[in-house]
Amino acid sequence: MPFFDLLVGKPLATSEERAEQIGPIAGIPVFGLDALSSAAYGPEAALTLLIPLGLMGIAHIVPISMAIIGLLAIVYLSYCQTIDAYPHGGGSYTVASENLGANAGLLAAAALMIDYILNAAVGISTGVGTLVSAFPRLQPHTLALCLLILLVLTLINMRGVRDTGSTFLVPTCLFVGTLLAVIVIGTIRTIAAHGHPLPIVAPPRLPVSGAMLSLWVLAKVFASGCTAMTGVEAVSNGIMAFREPKQKNARRTLTIIIFLLMTFLAGIALLCRAYSIGATEPGVAGYQSILSQLTAAVIGRGWFYYLTIASILSVVVLSANTSYADFPRLTRAIALNNYLPHVFLIRGRRLLYSHGIYALVGFTALLLIVFGGVTDRLIPLFAIGAFLAFTLSQAGMVMHWKRLGGGGANWRMAVNGIGAVATGITLVVVLVAKFTTGAWITAILVPALMSVMVAVRHHYDGVAREVAVEGPMRMENLAEPLIIIPVDRWSRISEKALRFAMKLSDQVQAVHVDAEECYEEVSRNWQQNVGGPFAQAGRAVPELVFLESPYRFVLTPLLDYIGKVERECPDRQIAVLVPELVVKHWWQTPLHNQRARLLKVLLTVQRNHRIMVISLPWYL
């Protein structure tokens, strides 16, 4: 398959694993795009809720952003500790299930799985949505474009993490570079203008409103702003993908990502206040995103403006990639504990957990198709999953340090404890603030997914108990099985079957169902072709059993007979040797009866432990 190889790369040997791992810089596009792209919609979401307050509202964005940045710092410190403690990957699932018990782990797992799928769907559809608003002629093809991008991302990811990192490095650098440039230039201008810089392109004037900021609105603004924190989990989950020293490289990547995200959030908040930039009503003519207004105000609408906007767009789309990197790792971790099908443990030809990718792509495609490629309403669901995972992870880490004890344990417990409390409170705020606008969906999906996982585990436990070895192999009662051969007319096929049966056992019975009333012919042929040679060889002639079939059914009398023999010989196994004609081309199938195949299926359906089926194919 040279074309397939070209598309997703040649298979990699298990021994090539080392080479497929990434450094701290390559880690940013692989694990950081989700977090970094949050800068594009977190502040926007918060400012949108402040629209009713008009000019007055913008002032509040700075303290709210600072609160979010503070929370981010706590979460960062907590995750640094997690990376230290779990060198093999410490996602919320691992940490919670090891320290808080299986149920807490499943809760985290369900929340994260839903989050990763949402992230992929929303990232792609947001990107396509922006593209479509720029080129309205593409509108009817929204879904097709979404699925196309999903396909391209899948193919890139099927090549493996290192290839993904290098593919996405350029857009990531462009995004970080342009946004940093805007923030740095804006800040210099602000300082130079003593806090009141003149915008190059003035943002829309904000109305002066008399509305007051209630605590409830503040909570909702904070909850919306917290979507800026999704995606922080990714690095600690993917430590194994890094080059040695894994933990150090992972920590470096996490540090860079968090530092950049904090800079973005702080810069955007400060510049919004300085330039008096507020959100515009979404979905209404004249809508313009915060980052677009900001860039235009700082740099003007030159080529740099378009470069910045384009890089933001591409990173939003590529943020879906974080799901590709982490979802398969998560499902593998869950499957390792028997809560998900074991296929998620299999590493594919490029050393990836390919089935995780298939599942992610399947569910994402389903979401996109169900929502027709427009998934904006799913954005609020994000933050819940993320903060549920944060809280469980931090709480788990507290238990971890408590159990471990030793020097510095108290200090570490405190860091994670503060993290747990802070993210826990945030979770409650987000859940309450967003419940009616979609959080209830998550509240249904999470327990549903948890019950599926418990059912899977239950099944695997049952199987494990059933097939568990009870001691050394038993050597008694190794008598040859009784072999039953269904025989139609005598032919080379029946001859081959009988010969093979003779090789396997001395107890062979041929059974003929007389549906077509050809007793005479079959009986004569048997005498002539079997009886003779056996008598000559001095062996007992195998018995030929005739079964009556007044209604011309073939399989029913046969199955009845096999069942009877099985009951009569409780100490022997029964092997049904089924001679089967295998045609050369599929279209020849209707030319031959499919009774052999049907007999095999029917014998399997009976689920009798003592009846075996031996296929004896005759290849035409």
Report the site for its own copies in 436-495 (rule: CB under 8 A): 456, 459-460, 462-463, 466-475, 478-481, 490-493, 495
Q: Whole-number minimum distance, CB 119 to its own copies, in Å?
A: 24
* Binder of its own copies out of 410, 528, 546, 564 (CB under 8 A): 528
3-class SS of residue 116: helix
| 115: its two tokens | 């989050």
Q: Whole-number minimum distance, CB 616 to its own copies, in Å?
A: 6
Residue closer to its own copies by CB (options 196, 474) is 474
3-class SS of residue 25: helix
Q: Whole-number minimum distance, CB 464 to its own copies, in Å?
A: 9
3-class SS of residue 592: coil
Instruction: Identify which of 354, 361, 256 has the alpha carbon closest to the alpha carbon of residue 33.
Output: 256
Applying CB under 8 A, the span of 137-145, 157-165, 323-331, 497-505 interacting with its own copies comes to: 497-505
What track of x and - describes contact with its own copies for positions 538 through 577 (by CB under 8 A)?
A: -x----------xxx--------------------x-x--
* Binder of its own copies out of 81, 109, 525, 596 (CB under 8 A): 525
Residue closer to its own copies by CB (options 73, 493) is 493
Q: Whole-number minimum distance, CB 523 to its own copies, in Å?
A: 15
What track of x and - describes contact with its own copies for positions 184 through 223 (by CB under 8 A)?
A: ----------------------------------------
Q: What does the H/E/C string look like for 76-92?
A: HHHHHHHHHHCCCCCCH
Q: Whole-number minimum distance, CB 35 to its own copies, in Å?
A: 32
Total residues at interface with its own copies (CB under 8 A): 81
Q: Which of residues 591-620 bind its own copies (CB under 8 A)?
A: 591-593, 600, 604, 607-609, 612-620
Burial class of residue 14, CB neighbours in 10 A (0-12, 13-18, 19+): exposed
* Binder of its own copies out of 3, 536, 570, 571 (CB under 8 A): 536
Q: Which residues 6+ apart lie within 8 Å of 470 measured at CB?
A: none
Q: Whole-number minimum distance, CB 155 to its own copies, in Å?
A: 20
Applying CB under 8 A, the span of 122-130, 146-154, 319-327, 499-507 interacting with its own copies comes to: 499-507
Residue closer to its own copies by CB (options 352, 392) is 352
Q: Which of residues 87-106 bind its own copies (CB under 8 A)?
A: none
Residue closer to its own copies by CB (options 205, 524) is 524
Q: Whole-number minimum distance, CB 5 to its own copies, in Å?
A: 12
Rounded-to-integer distance, Cα 455 and Cα 453, Å: 5
3-class SS of residue 612: strand
* DSSP letters for 503-559: HH-S-EEEEEEESS--HHHHHHHHIIIIIHHHHHTT-PPPEEEEEE-TT--SHHHHH
Q: Whole-number minimum distance, CB 530 to its own copies, in Å?
A: 6
Residue closer to its own copies by CB (options 358, 371) is 358
Q: Which of residues 56-85 bind its own copies (CB under 8 A)?
A: none
* DSSP letters for 40-103: HHHHHHHHHHHGGGBHHHHHHHHHHHHHHHHHHHHHHHHHHHHHHH-TT---HHHHHHHHH-HH
Q: Whole-number minimum distance, CB 250 to its own copies, in Å?
A: 25
Q: Whole-number minimum distance, CB 165 to its own copies, in Å?
A: 23
Rounded-to-integer distance, Cα 337 and Cα 353, Å: 16
Containing 265, the helix (H) or strand (E) segment is helix 246-275
Applying CB under 8 A, the span of 252-260, 272-280, 416-424, 529-537 interacting with its own copies comes to: 529-537
3-class SS of residue 242: strand
Q: Let me know: does 74 contact 419? Beta carbons within 8 Å.
A: yes
Residue closer to its own copies by CB (options 163, 495) is 495
Residue closer to its own copies by CB (options 215, 537) is 537
In Å, how far from its chain's centre is CA 567? 48
Tell me if 529 contacts its own copies by CB under 8 A.
yes
Q: Whole-number minimum distance, CB 242 to its own copies, in Å?
A: 21
Q: Whole-number minimum distance, CB 439 to its own copies, in Å?
A: 30
Q: Which of residues 5-44 bind its own copies (CB under 8 A)?
A: 11-15
3-class SS of residue 581: strand
Q: What does the H/E/C string look like for 437-464?
A: HHHHHHHHHHHHHHHHHHHHHHHHHHHH
* Binder of its own copies out of 530, 562, 565, 599 (CB under 8 A): 530
332 sits in the region (left: phi over 0; alpha: psi -120 to 50; else beta) called alpha
Residue closer to its own copies by CB (options 148, 582) is 582
Give 412-418's long-range contacts (Cβ < 8 A, gap of 24+).
412/81, 415/74, 415/77, 415/78, 415/81, 416/78, 416/81, 418/74
Rounded-to-integer distance, Cα 78 and Cα 412, Å: 8
Q: Whole-number minimum distance, CB 336 to its own copies, in Å?
A: 12
Q: Which of residues 335-364 bind its own copies (CB under 8 A)?
A: 341-343, 346-349
| 385: its two tokens | 């999953």
Residue closer to its own copies by CB (options 459, 564) is 459
